[in-house]
């Protein structure tokens, strides 16, 4: 399939010049030049699909993305948000989480766990995240040359998540495997012949179209039973005892909620940490400035999250004909908000293509922006990135990149599968 397309579609719509649905377009790097052109010439552009699926609108400007995020009446989340593909009602219902709900159903479902994710609640994990980050950094130093993804980036988010959800540490490897499979389904290195052998019709109704979701459900169910009998202060207890729309969560609601937290809290933070280390190795002056001038770690963490933009887009479906950025959107059209473009919007960021560790203000949209779906785990993600930077600063003088990163083949996740690095410790440590 060719990734090139026309600049104006057959019916005269402004159009993307590359096919953003094609995972190969993203393999080497996100198409930043094309997004710069779109922001300038066609801020809401039609992307034709060449594989039989319906096309979609690509929203490139920061302001338009915020408009779509806020307006849940015109732009619905109910028909799927993390994919550019069409979903029928059966598929959408089988996979539905709060991500794929609109208010008021969404409001009620989000409340079940929202108290577990406030800044105050997540501060309970700071000491654990700090101690884990420090230990992992020390292990990397001791090893010398390492692939930082398995050695560090995968570990910190999953260990934090296991704590948050009350998952025993011995299930950590399963959690990583499930998450890899569910998000990496377009990447040949995660394709499993046993899975391909399952009839498509059966896979179609599984969350993420993959049987690993069913394994995660089993773990979730066993934790639910344990917490219902013996409640503790954790997210699974909130899910087991909480109510939405006046009643307890049914089995499907519970399982999908649990799985979404496993995936949402895992991949995103992992790739953010890896992109952060890559940026620090390529911008040694920024790292020196950060350490020598004792710059603010909250500010630095936000620049790492902007720079990484681990989720390229989240999509909505228009519920009515509307106009956005000069484009005539029809009811039923898919609309993808490209955070990866909004985070480089020159009307919001000075020198957006530069990694600036003290960037302030930093109005990034990596967690979404302005709407009720704003990332529930944003405080927890920020906390992990911040304590990681703080622990790194007390130990590491320079990060050396030893080989190019191996990137995930995905049109949705800005993933790095492998990144060989060496940490050079501060002399005297």
Which residues contact ligand HEM by CB under 6 A? 69, 81, 98-99, 110, 161, 260-261, 264-265, 268-269, 272, 305, 310-311, 314, 366-368, 371, 373, 375-377, 380-381
| Structure-block tokens of residue 377 | 């785990």
Give the position of tokens 């059209």.
333
Residue with tokens 């060496």: 422
Which of 110/344 has CB closer to ligand HEM? 110
Q: In whole angstroms, what is the distance from residue 118 CA to residue 396 CA?
A: 31
Residue closer to ligand HEM, measured from CB, 368 or 405: 368
Least Å distance, CB 153 to ligand HEM, is: 12
72: enclosing H helix or E strand: none
Q: Which is nearer to ligand HEM, 381 or 421 (CB)?
A: 381
Measured from the CB of residue 311, what is the shortest distance to ligand HEM in angstroms? 4
Residue (68 or 146) nearer to ligand HEM, CB? 68
Closer by beta carbon to ligand HEM, 66 or else 421: 66
Of all residues in the shown chain, the one whose CB is closest to ligand HEM is 377
Angle at 275 between CA 274 and CA 279, to 5 degrees: 120
Least Å distance, CB 188 to ligand HEM, is: 25
Closer residue to ligand HEM, CB minimum distance, 9 or 105: 105
Nearest-approach distance from CB 131 to ligand HEM, in angstroms? 18
Query: Taking the complex as a whole, how short is the minimal distance between the CB of residue 271 and ligand HEM, in angstroms?
Result: 8
**Separation CA 300–CA 119 (nearest Å):** 18
Q: Which of 96, 98, 76 is nearest to 244 (CA)?
A: 98
Least separation in angstroms between residue 387's CB and ligand HEM is 13
Asked if residue 361 has a cis previous peptide bond (ω within 30° of 0), the answer is yes
- When the beta carbons of 46 and 125 are compared against ligand HEM, the nearer one is 125
Q: How far is the CB of 10 from ligand HEM (least distance, A)?
A: 31
Q: Is-contact 228 166, C-beta < 8 A?
A: no
Q: What is the DSSP secondary-structure string of 363-382? A: ---BTB-SSTTS-TTHHHHH
- Which tokens is 386 given? 């911040």
Burial class (CB in 10 A: 0-12, 13-18, 19+), 357: buried
Distance CA 357, CA 351 (A): 13
Residue number with CB closer to ligand HEM (3 or 108): 108
Strand spans (E) along 231-308: 243-244, 247-248
At 133, which helix (H) or strand (E)?
helix 126-143
Cα angle, residue 240 at apex, residues 239 and 244 outer, rounded to 5°: 55
Return the number of the residue (140 or 314) whose C-beta is nearest ligand HEM.
Answer: 314
The percent of the chain in helix, strand and coil, each rounded to the nearest 5, is 50, 15, 35
- For the bound state, the minimum distance from the C-beta of residue 260 to ligand HEM, rounded and expressed in Å, comes to 6
Other C-beta atoms lying within 10 Å of the C-beta of residue 81? 20
Length of the chain: 429
CB of 238 to ligand HEM, least distance (A): 12
């Amino acid at each position: 399939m060719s990734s090139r397309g026309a600049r104006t579609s057959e019916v005269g719509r402004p159009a993307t010049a590359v096919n953003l649905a094609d995972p190969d377009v993203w393999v080497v790097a996100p198409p930043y030049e094309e997004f710069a052109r779109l922001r300038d010439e066609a801020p809401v552009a039609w992307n034709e699909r060449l594989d039989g699926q319906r096309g979609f609108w690509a929203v490139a400007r920061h302001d338009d993305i915020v408009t779509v995020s806020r307006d849940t009446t015109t732009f619905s989340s109910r028909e799927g948000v993390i994919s550019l593909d069409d979903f029928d009602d059966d598929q959408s219902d089988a996979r539905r989480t709060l991500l794929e709900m609109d208010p008021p159903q969404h409001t009620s479902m989000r409340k079940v766990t929202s108290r577990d994710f406030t800044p105050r609640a997540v501060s309970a994990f700071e000491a654990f995240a700090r101690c884990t980050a420090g230990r992992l950094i020390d292990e990397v130093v001791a090893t010398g040359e390492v692939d930082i993804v398995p050695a560090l980036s995968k570990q910190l988010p999953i260990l934090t998540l296991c704590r948050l959800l009350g998952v025993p540490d011995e299930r950590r490897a399963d959690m990583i495997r499930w998450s890899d499979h569910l998000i990496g389904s377009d990447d040949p290195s995660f394709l499993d012949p046993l899975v391909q052998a399952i009839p498509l019709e059966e896979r179609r109704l599984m969350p993420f179209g993959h049987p690993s979701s069913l394994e995660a459900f089993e773990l979730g169910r066993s934790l639910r039973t344990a917490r219902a009998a013996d409640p503790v202060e954790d997210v699974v207890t909130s899910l087991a005892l909480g109510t939405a729309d006046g009643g307890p969560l049914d089995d499907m609601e519970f399982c999908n909620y649990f799985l979404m937290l496993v995936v949402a809290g895992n991949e995103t933070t992992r790739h953010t940490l890896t992109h952060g280390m890559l940026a620090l190795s390529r911008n040694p002056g920024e790292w020196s400035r950060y350490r020598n001038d004792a710059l603010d770690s909250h500010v630095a963490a936000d620049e790492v999250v902007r720079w990484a933009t681990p989720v390229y887009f989240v999509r909505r479906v228009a519920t009515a004909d509307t106009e956005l950025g000069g484009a005539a959107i029809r009811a039923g059209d898919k609309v993808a908000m490209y955070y990866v473009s909004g985070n480089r919007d020159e009307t919001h960021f000075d020198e957006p293509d530069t990694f600036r560790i003290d960037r302030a203000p930093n109005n990034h949209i990596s967690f979404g922006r302005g709407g009720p779906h704003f990332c529930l785990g944003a405080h927890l993600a920020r906390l992990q990135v911040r304590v990681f930077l703080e622990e790194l600063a007390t130990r590491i003088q320079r990060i050396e990149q030893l080989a190019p990163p191996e990137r995930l083949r995905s049109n949705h996740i800005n993933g790095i599968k492998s990144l060989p690095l060496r940490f050079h410790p501060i002399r005297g440590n």
